[in-house]
Chain A
């Protein structure tokens, strides 16, 4: 595969702030590519430079081998779907979709065929003569997509397109976007701060933070093998345990973490003894049980006795925060048979937390700010007195 869209050491400053800091990346033709990061990470600036609304201070942008860095927006075959859709209020749905073709002076019959084709694709043929104020949020979204795709651009840019929709509609549009991408085969560059959207749609994700790319990988690799503490904490939920590697045992190593007995970890990065590292363990990989794990699970499991401090019921699962030594750890327990399988775990209970050594992931890149990204219930008023439950 050839590099279709290339960012070459792009830097953009706004006054004192460096919004994008020498970013280099290349996107393949037909790819669904996501830029994911918290607000202010530079993802929208990167997108606006691609659309032609900002000019980089240094670096070049190439599209299909052509340098487009200094081209004005109207001369790029790159269209944007704006967060607020930016549909023209004085034009009907039909005229909105036809806009780019009319501006380019396409023949009338061709315009009619293309617009009607797009209306069919977005299933809006019946609403063609309505104005934007008369259609719903989801319909506006679809019109914006049709308007941007009608003259078959080389790249479609999507700037948080689902942010204004409610949850159900968002889930629906997510599937629809995926289908449209498969049908038109155009390169999509998708900007979002919602990891769920990025994970479910993208071929590859670039996770951005403070103007640079932290990691660029397919979704599963980003989730399972985060390169830094930031990626681990921003994508999904996790627990961090900082400590020192004490002993190497074949493919595994032992980790000394303050307050725990030795933690066994899979050492895929060949980290040597004596290194300071952080261990990231996803809450869904930690089991919480009132009794220790059954012996048939083997002896190499990491088991810790802890005390439940917080419980959040989430429907499909319950999230527990437990206190192990001075560490607060989050764990998730899915409900198979709701509360019937065993006596429910409640506040203040002594429980066992255990996970397989393969399920922890060791991080060498870690900053204190990454730990702050992990969501925790506030300390202090969150530990109610245990409720006396009448048990037989």
Chain B
């Protein structure tokens, strides 16, 4: 990594993160500020059984959101990459179009759609899919649905970028050798755009772990996520050490999978480099024609 980006990362990411962690080891002062003495009280408090449930819910909703987004993004990206060049640009524009509207407004729109008297409820009822008293809003399902909706573009874009560079004659070759379309997609296309899928996973997982607008607007009392709790501790409760401890936990929850992925990619790269080096050696020895 180059020096300017190192400085940038240190000033705007590493130092603030360390400060947040440091605050979590102080006590809250009665005026809403931070006390001067060092203490483990906040961390002791966080281990009470309420929090693991919230953290667990945050993780599974984020994981499900990520899986949903990647599964939906794969066919979308595939279809766009197969289009003519001018249509590809149009489709990329269409996918980015929602960003012209405020995120909060878009999430709020879902409240109207999912409302007991809303359009979607009536439609599903008319189709016989839901009972009259089924609650579509204020539960984990609503959070999941709106999260997938919100983060889908972040999954489509990196997968599309990888798919655009994919050599589609490989799929023809697989079909030619007897593979049905879906098998060719699974065995040749997905491994071919592996890196795009990894980026998409991170691009969706990281923001969904930290999301608090979506659970705040469409989630219910029993579907709070870590993001909501951090908000509560920061503003209504004015307990900054507590908010910091939760933030630190969340950062760990994001950095650990990120580190694992980075490690995995690095190992793959070095394996590939090793393979190339080996083949060069065998070429020099005259092992190759």
Contact = CB atoms under 8 A, between A and B. Distances in A.
Given A89-B192, A131-B275, A73 B175 contact: yes
Interface stretch (A76-84, A189-197, A216-224, A337-345): A76-84
A134 B176 contact: no
Nearest to B183: A103
Interface string A106-134: 00000000000000000000110011011
A74 B175 contact: yes
A279 to B, nearest CB: 45
B288 A139 contact: yes
Given A134-B276, A135-B279, A88 B175 contact: no
A224 B169 CA distance: 38
Interface residues of B, number: 25
B192 A99 contact: no
Interface in B230-289: 275-276, 278-279, 283, 287-289
B136 interface: no
A68 to B, nearest CB: 13
A88 B173 CA distance: 9
Given A53-B172, A73-B172, A134 B167 contact: no
Contacts of B188: 88, 90
B178 A151 contact: yes
Contacts of A326: none
A334 interface: no
Nearest to B276: A134
Given A84-B169, A138-B289, A103 B279 contact: no
Contacts of B173: 80, 82, 86-88
A87 to B, nearest CB: 8
Interface string B166-203: 01011011111111100100001001101000000000
A88 B187 CA distance: 10
B272 to A, nearest CB: 8
A100 interface: yes
A143 B145 CA distance: 47
A12 interface: no
Contacts of B183: 103
Given A73-B172, A86-B167, A148 B177 contact: yes
A84 B167 contact: yes
Contact of A99 (B177, B180, B191, B288): B177
Nearest to A151: B178
A139 to B, nearest CB: 6
Contact of A147 (B177, B179, B194, B278): B177
Contacts of B180: 74
Given A90-B191, A90-B192, A104-B178, A136 B170 contact: no
B170 A86 contact: yes
Contacts of A88: 170, 173-174, 188
Interface residues on A, range: 20 to 34
A51 interface: yes
Contacts of A134: 275-276, 278-279
Contacts of B178: 74, 100, 103-104, 151
Given A89-B192, A127-B288, A135-B288, A103 B177 contact: yes
Interface string B8-38: 0000000000000000000000000000000
A72 interface: yes
A73 B181 CA distance: 10
A121 to B, nearest CB: 15
A99 B174 contact: yes
Contacts of A148: 176-177
B289 A139 contact: yes
Interface centre among A52, A134, A148 (most CB of B within 10 A): A134
Given A89-B192, A103-B179, A147-B177, A136 B172 contact: no
Contacts of B169: 82, 84, 86
Nearest to B180: A74
A136 B288 contact: yes
Contacts of A51: 176
Contacts of A53: 172, 175-176
Contacts of A127: 288
A138 B288 CA distance: 10
A100 B289 CA distance: 26
A83 to B, nearest CB: 9
Nearest to B171: A86
A148 B170 CA distance: 13
A84 B170 CA distance: 10
Interface in A322-381: none
Given A86-B170, A103-B179, A138-B289, 17 more contacts: A51-B176, A53-B175, A72-B175, A73-B172, A79-B177, A80-B176, A82-B172, A86-B172, A86-B173, A88-B173, A88-B174, A88-B188, A103-B177, A103-B183, A131-B275, A136-B283, A139-B288
12 contacts: A73-B172, A82-B173, A86-B167, A88-B174, A90-B191, A103-B179, A103-B183, A127-B288, A130-B275, A134-B276, A147-B177, A148-B177
**A-B pairs with the 8 shortest C-beta distances?**
A134-B279, A86-B173, A100-B177, A90-B191, A73-B175, A103-B178, A86-B169, A103-B179
